[in-house]
Amino acid sequence: MINVLFFGPVVERIGKNALEVGYRADMTLQELRDELALHYPQAFEIVCFFAVNGQHVRDLAMPLADNSEVTFMAKFSGG
């Protein structure tokens, strides 16, 4: 299972702050992103950062491990 987290403006567009996606062997971050973007296109319009297990990831070809925590994030506005 992949645990997907959302925060701030992305939560507002998806309507929830987390969901679970079934794990598949050789699944990449790009595949997960594309799958979710089909269901939540408005949310993914503003997603521009990705994290896996709390670390920034810039290479969407990154393979995911089972039980990964994946976060799709909008531009930050702290400070």
Count Cβ atoms below 10 Å from residue 9 Cβ, excluding itself. Answer: 15
Would you say 15 or 77 has its CB closer to other proteins? 77
Nearest to 7 by CA among 79, 71, 77, 65: 71
Shortest distance (Å) from residue 54 CB to other proteins: 4
Shortest distance (Å) from residue 52 CB to other proteins: 10
Contacts of 54 (CB under 8 A, 6+ apart): 69, 71
Sole residue written with tokens 């996606």: 21
Would you say 24 or 69 has its CB closer to other proteins? 69
Residues of the shown chain interacting with other proteins in the complex, contacts defined by CB under 8 A: 5, 7-9, 11-12, 49, 51, 54-56, 71, 73-79
